[in-house]
Copies of this chain bind each other. A is one copy, B any other.
Amino acid sequence: MSVTALSPRRSSQRAQKEQHILSAAEKVFAEAGFGGATMQLIADMAGLPKANLHYYFATKEDLYRRVVRDIFEIWLHAADVFDAAPGPAEGIGAYIDAKMEISRRHPHGSKVWASEVMHGAPVIQDYLETTLNDWTDGRVALIQRWIDEGKMAPVNPRHLLYMLWATTQHYADFNHQIETLNHGKPLSERQWREAKNSVKAVILRGIGVA
């Protein structure tokens, strides 16, 4: 039994390969769902034999778990802009921008997350109950403070958060529908700006800060 640590070179290469696999897996899980995804598909997408895939990730569930957790991290960090803000106009505006950017850059991840939650969150239920719950409570309190200070209209903070999540993630989760309704083409740079501005305009005016 050896306790030798991997050499830095090996360790880095391994991390790199894991990342490559995770990226392929994210795409396959997003496009086919957990049930529809196969290890063979993921292996093909990553360009390696299935057996090799199993060397890095023992089971399909392990791989899936990693994908979902990575998304969750990104998701949570989008909130950083929220806290630093002096008021709702800046905080919520920046949050919308950040989440829209995530929808644009990580559409696959967003779908995996949505799928996971829709199916009852079998692998991240504990995260929902702890981390997400705490995060939400914090944000609700912050928004309530803004309301109490007269900085925005009195809106139920929890439902406002849901609206923010829903509207921004919609551009990732339903991007196929949006593309279809956009003559089959992805949103252009200009159209993404328009989308961001539209969402921000309605929400910010909706909470009385614009």
Q: Which residues of A contact B (CB under 8 A)?
A: 30-37, 111, 114-115, 117-121, 125, 128-129, 132-133, 136, 153, 155-156, 158-160, 162-163, 165-167, 169-171, 173-174, 176-178, 180-181, 194-195, 198-199, 201-208
Contact = CB atoms under 8 A, between A and B. Distances in A.
13 contacts: A31-B120, A33-B34, A33-B35, A33-B115, A36-B119, A111-B118, A115-B115, A117-B174, A155-B198, A155-B201, A162-B171, A202-B207, A204-B206
A173 B165 CA distance: 12
Number of copies: 2
B118 A30 contact: yes
Contacts of A160: 198, 202
A169 B174 CA distance: 12
B199 A121 contact: no
Given A35-B36, A37-B35, A181-B158, A153 B118 contact: no
B177 A117 contact: yes
Contacts of A199: 159, 163
Contacts of A136: 181
Contacts of A34: 33, 35-36
Nearest to A197: B156
